[in-house]
């Protein structure tokens, strides 16, 4: 039973766990769960008495007591044992997600209409946890200290690695441990004395004073296998490795192997120094090194044991472990994303990850909204806040500022640059256009010209050169149109889609014949009797030039 408004747990939550069970013959007698990985005990009892939030007494609904969650960000494996009144047992595991991390807003984008859309490229986010500097130094020191015939502190190695990971990891983590021998000093007696602080004989939270430990060890000489049971004097406090609160994957390389590792079981307690090449296990923690490696892995929160006869199988095993780790479902799930701004209808909208709201594919972590009509009439930066809630009721928010620009750009100057020495252009000649434009808010996006009246393209993009926008060597190919003044519209648009249009006047003179001279004085046939000024009209292409 999750806290109100949640469908996942986080550290600090109080939770009750429910199971629906039935046994049609003798009935269920006892239900115990190992909840150490999420903050409970190794034997949390479930009840069907009507007083633990479990409905009515005897209705088959079993509830635990209240568990205060204390766990890392991960899916935690809880093992449950059900016993009926006839002594039969049912064992199963339960995956419990714990999400302690607030959701992350990686990036906020505003998809503007048309040419205003900003192409930011694909999203690539790879979360990982990195060992800190002190951890790296410790690991390098440990590796560099190893030498041939050194001791094998396998239990201390696993314990310290697990403890370090729990204390320093920012996310879900796992331990992978490999050994080609038992925990001993210089590969021989005393056994179990390479480690000083940890052992695989009791639970993670327990520290016990261990007097002796009966185990089975490799004492082979040459190529002849020889295994011996030995009662080891320990006489020191040890922390337990069983039921660790994170996955521990163990690999036994070339160890004495049995499948399963707890079979066959010795019929009686082996005597000290007894040679035994048959049995894997006797009772409790007494068994082969493989048996205890197997117990460490299979009692941990999701770990597994692997056996490798020799090094040739290790690559396959490592790949298998990596696949398990990296294909585990993330315990982080976003359940709600909202955007808040005065630009939005009702000041808020919901974002979706359904593949239908410009959000990529369904479930890809990219959230998008419906199209929003902006009715803001002013100009300026308007705040936009994104609020994210996950299934454990963790929240996070992020914000950005959205520029609003309702002011069109300005054309400061526009001119035609004719061929040198001319104030007009004729067919076959080139002209240049030069425009000076500015926008005081979002900036000029594009300047275009429509030169179709001159026989050119209807949309020409002017290139920015310093403060001006220009197009050079524009060829006039009118096909001999009449002389006159023709309009070339110039359009300037800004980043917000505001536009302004101004027409440039281009004078075209297509000179197909020599000028004509008409004498207006003296009049034809007039007798001149004195000195007289001669007056004439000069016409070229129907235009009076003089």
Residue 126 lies in a domain: no
User: Position of tokens 């052992």?
Assistant: 199
- What is the C-alpha to C-alpha distance for residues 379 and 296, in angstroms, rounded to an integer? 65
Tell me: do 152 and 296 sit in the same domain: yes
CATH number of the domain to which 430 belongs: 2.60.40.10
| Mean pLDDT of all residues in 198-212 | 93
Tell me: do 263 and 156 sit in the same domain: yes
Instruction: State residue 525's pLDDT score.
Output: 73
Tell me: do 312 and 387 sit in the same domain: no
Q: How many domains does the chain have?
A: 5
Residue 348 lies in a domain: yes
Contact 158, 177 (CB under 8 A): yes
| Mean pLDDT of all residues in 383-412 | 91
Tell me: do 371 and 429 sit in the same domain: no
Tell me: do 91 and 205 sit in the same domain: no
User: Position of tokens 């006797």?
Assistant: 282
Residue 130 lies in a domain: no
Q: What percent of the chain has pLDDT over 70?
A: 89
Instruction: State residue 117's pLDDT score.
Output: 37
Tell me: do 498 and 525 sit in the same domain: no
Instruction: State residue 458's pLDDT score.
Output: 87
| Mean pLDDT of all residues in 158-166 | 88
Distances (CA, A) of 376 to 311, 342, 399: 69, 8, 19
User: Given pLDDT bands bounded at 50, 70 and 90, which one contains residue 339?
Assistant: very high
Residue 183 lies in a domain: yes
Tell me: do 379 and 480 sit in the same domain: no
Which one of 286, 309, 326 terminates a domain? 326
Cis peptide, bond prior to residue 335, ω within 30 of zero: no
pTM passes above 0.85: no
Instruction: State residue 258's pLDDT score.
Output: 97
- The dihedrals phi and psi of 40, each to the nearest 5 degrees, come to -90, -160
Residue 537 lies in a domain: yes
pLDDT of 115 > 50? The answer is no
Which one of 386, 404, 422 terminates a domain? 404
Q: Residues 406-448: pLDDT tens digits? A: 999 999 999 999 999 899 998 889 999 999 999 988 889 999 9
Tell me: do 162 and 262 sit in the same domain: yes
Which one of 326, 359, 389 terminates a domain? 326
Instruction: State residue 125's pLDDT score.
Output: 30
| Domain membership of residue 482 as a residue range | 410-508
Contact 28, 21 (CB under 8 A): yes
Tell me: do 504 and 519 sit in the same domain: no
Tell me: do 200 and 319 sit in the same domain: yes
Tell me: do 286 and 345 sit in the same domain: no
Q: DSSP code of 444?
A: E
CATH number of the domain to which 69 belongs: 2.60.40
Residue 136 lies in a domain: no
Helix (H/G/I), strand (E/B), else coil: 59: coil
Helix axes 289-299, 154-168, angle to 10 degrees: 10
How many CA atoms lie less than 13 Å away from 269 in the CB half-sphere?
10
- The dihedrals phi and psi of 137, each to the nearest 5 degrees, come to -60, -40
Instruction: State residue 164's pLDDT score.
Output: 86
- The dihedrals phi and psi of 114, each to the nearest 5 degrees, come to 55, -125
Tell me: do 303 and 201 sit in the same domain: yes
Q: How far is CA 262 from the centre of its chain?
A: 42
Residue 110 lies in a domain: no
Task: Give, rounded to a whole angstrom, the gap between the first and last alpha carbons of the chain.
Answer: 102
């Amino acid at each position: 039973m999750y806290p109100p408004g949640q469908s996942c747990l986080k550290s600090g939550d109080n939770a009750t766990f429910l199971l629906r069970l039935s046994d049609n013959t003798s009935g269920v007698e006892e239900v115990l769960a190992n909840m150490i990985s999420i903050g409970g005990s190794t034997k949390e009892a479930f009840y069907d008495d009507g007083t633990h939030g479990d409905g009515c007494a005897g209705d088959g609904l079993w509830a635990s007591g209240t568990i205060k969650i204390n766990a890392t960000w991960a899916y935690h494996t809880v093992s449950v044992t059900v016993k009926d009144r006839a002594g039969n047992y049912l064992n199963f595991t339960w995956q419990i997600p714990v999400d302690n991390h607030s959701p992350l807003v990686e990036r906020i984008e505003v998809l503007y209409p048309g040419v205003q859309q900003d192409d930011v490229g694909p999203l690539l986010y790879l979360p990982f946890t990195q060992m800190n500097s002190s951890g790296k130094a410790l690991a390098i020191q440990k590796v560099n200290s190893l030498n041939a015939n050194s001791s094998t502190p396998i239990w201390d190695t696993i314990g310290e690695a697990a403890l370090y990971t729990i204390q320093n990891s920012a996310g879900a983590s796992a331990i992978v441990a490999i050994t080609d021998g038992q925990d001993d000093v210089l590969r021989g007696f005393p056994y179990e004395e390479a480690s000083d602080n940890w052992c695989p004989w009791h639970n993670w939270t327990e520290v016990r004073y261990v007097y002796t430990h009966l185990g089975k060890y490799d004492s082979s000489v040459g190529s002849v296998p020889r295994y011996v049971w030995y009662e080891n004097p320990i006489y020191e406090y040890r922390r337990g490795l069983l039921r660790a609160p994170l996955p521990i994957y163990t690999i036994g390389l070339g160890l004495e192997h049995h499948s399963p590792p707890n079979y066959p079981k010795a019929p009686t307690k082996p005597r000290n120094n007894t040679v035994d090449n048959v049995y894997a296990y006797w009772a409790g923690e007494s068994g082969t090194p493989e048996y205890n490696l197997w117990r460490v892995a299979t009692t941990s929160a999701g770990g597994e044991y692997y056996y490798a006869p020799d090094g040739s199988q290790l690559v396959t095993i490592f790949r298998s472990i990596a696949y398990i780790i990296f294909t585990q479902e993330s315990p982080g799930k976003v359940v709600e994303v909202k955007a808040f701004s005065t630009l939005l209808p009702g000041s808020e909208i919901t974002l979706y990850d359904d593949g239908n709201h410009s959000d990529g594919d369904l479930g890809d972590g990219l959230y998008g909204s419906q199209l929003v009509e902006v009715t803001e009439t002013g100009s300026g930066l308007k705040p936009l806040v994104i609020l994210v809630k996950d299934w454990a009721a963790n929240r996070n928010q992020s914000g950005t500022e959205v520029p609003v620009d309702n002011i069109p750009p300005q054309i400061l100057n526009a001119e035609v640059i004719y061929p040198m020495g001319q104030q007009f252009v004729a067919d076959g000649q080139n002209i240049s256009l030069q425009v000076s434009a500015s926008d005081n808010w979002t900036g000029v996006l594009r300047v275009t010209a429509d030169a179709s009246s001159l026989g050119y393209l209807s949309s020409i993009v002017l290139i920015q050169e310093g403060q001006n926008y220009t197009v050079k060597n524009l060829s006039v190919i009118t096909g001999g149109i009449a002389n006159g003044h023709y309009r070339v519209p110039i359009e300037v648009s800004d980043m917000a889609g505001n536009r302004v249009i101004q027409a440039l006047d281009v004078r075209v003179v297509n000179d197909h014949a020599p000028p004509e001279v008409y004498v207006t004085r003296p009049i034809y046939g007039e007798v001149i009797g004195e000195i007289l000024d001669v007056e004439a009209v000069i016409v070229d292409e129907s235009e009076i030039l003089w």
